[in-house]
Amino acid sequence: MKKIGLAVLACMVLSGFVAVRSVYADEIKAVGSTQQAGTSDAATQTDKAKEPETPKVTGSGSIGFYNQYIFRGYEIGKNGLVIEPSLTESYKGFTATFWGNVDSNVRNSTSAAFPNEGRKQWDETDFSLSYTYTVSKLSITPGYTYYALKYAEETEEFWLTLALDMLTKPSLSVYQDIQSYKGTYFNLAFAHSFTLPKDVTLDLGASFGYEIGESNYWKTYEKATGDYTGSKYQGFHDGMVKAGLTIPITKAFSIQPVVQYWFPLSGNANKTFGTDPATGLKIPYNPNGYVPDNLIYGVGFTYSF
């Protein structure tokens, strides 16, 4: 009986040991499971942090008020109020832009008769599509623009801009007209901004254009014939320097007063041959018009989103 009692006692002790060990093992597993779960949650949060943000549509809406509209040195408006609204939206490198011009004193830059001379009207609407691809500090932007015009024939252009993200932000743009005014226009531009107190920036810029006429439209004026029978217009065309301020009112809204000075880059760019008695306009050497000296000033208002 004593041996049997000892055997039973031994079995009870062994069973308790096994039970305690089993409970301890379950607790270890539970703790390990909790730690793994915590690690998994942390890893998930880290992975989420590493995930790229979903691309958003960005853009801006603006409206500008200026004393005159100048396009590549040509006077489109003269001594009046110009209102220029625009809307731009971008997504994953693609950009769509609408731009308009409302002029209180429309004029024609050429010597041809122009029925809307001096009128107030919405005289231009531009639609542009482009895509920007960036390689290191170089951005490459091909694009297309449709020009709906009331002071000239509607036309279309394909263009390409190469820009460097460095001091003076140099960029070279090439525009190829494919419809009414077939030709190539080159523009070299520079820009730099200085930060002033209260996040205001002083914005400086300059650009220089070269134009190559390709179709018969670009034949130049000849005194001998009294008509546009000369060689096609080609040469250094227009220059522009500007200074302005960007004044932030809120994070999204800013005001930009600006002054621009436009000037011809060659003698042929602003050459004229007296006045056309039928129209009272100067007869330009370039059939598309001449480039005079002009001082443009005004202010723009921009809301970014």
Instruction: Tell which wins on pLDDT, 44 or 269.
Output: 269
Average pLDDT over the chain reads: 85
Same structural domain, 47 and 62: no
CA atoms within 13 A of residue 254's CA, in its CB half-sphere: 17
Contacting residues for 117 by C-beta, under 8 A, at least 6 apart: 106, 107, 108
pLDDT of 235 above 70: yes
16, pLDDT greater than 80: no
Per-residue model confidence as pLDDT tens digits over 275-289: 888 777 889 999 999
Looking at the structure, tell me whether residues 96 and 76 fall in a common domain: yes
* pLDDT for the residue 252: 97
- Claim to verify: residue 8 and residue 103 sit in the same structural domain: no
Read off the pTM: 0.81
Work out the number of other CB atoms within 10 angstroms of the CB of residue 270: 21
Q: Which of 241, 242, 223 is nearest to 285 (CA)?
A: 223
Q: Are residues 20 and 83 in the same domain?
A: no
Domain boundary among 27, 51, 75: 51
| 226 and 81 within one domain | yes
Q: What is the pLDDT of residues 107-157, one digit of tens each?
A: 766 655 566 667 788 999 999 999 999 999 999 999 999 999 988 899 999
Do 101 and 179 have their domain in common?
yes
pLDDT tens profile 50-80: 556 677 999 999 999 999 999 999 998 777 8
Residue-wise pLDDT tens digits, 153-185: 999 999 999 999 999 999 999 999 999 999 999
Residues 132 and 7 placed together within one structural domain of the fold: no
Q: Is it the case that residue 40 has pLDDT exceeding 90? A: no
DSSP SS3 for 280: coil
The residue range of the domain holding 250 is 58-304
Q: How far apart are CA 68 and CA 106, in angstroms?
A: 10
Look at the chain and report how many structural domains it folds into.
2
Residues 6+ apart with CB under 8 A from 139: 132, 133, 161, 162, 163, 164, 165
Considering the domain architecture, whether residues 17 and 157 belong to the same structural domain is answered as no
What's 125's domain CATH number?
Answer: 2.40.160.40
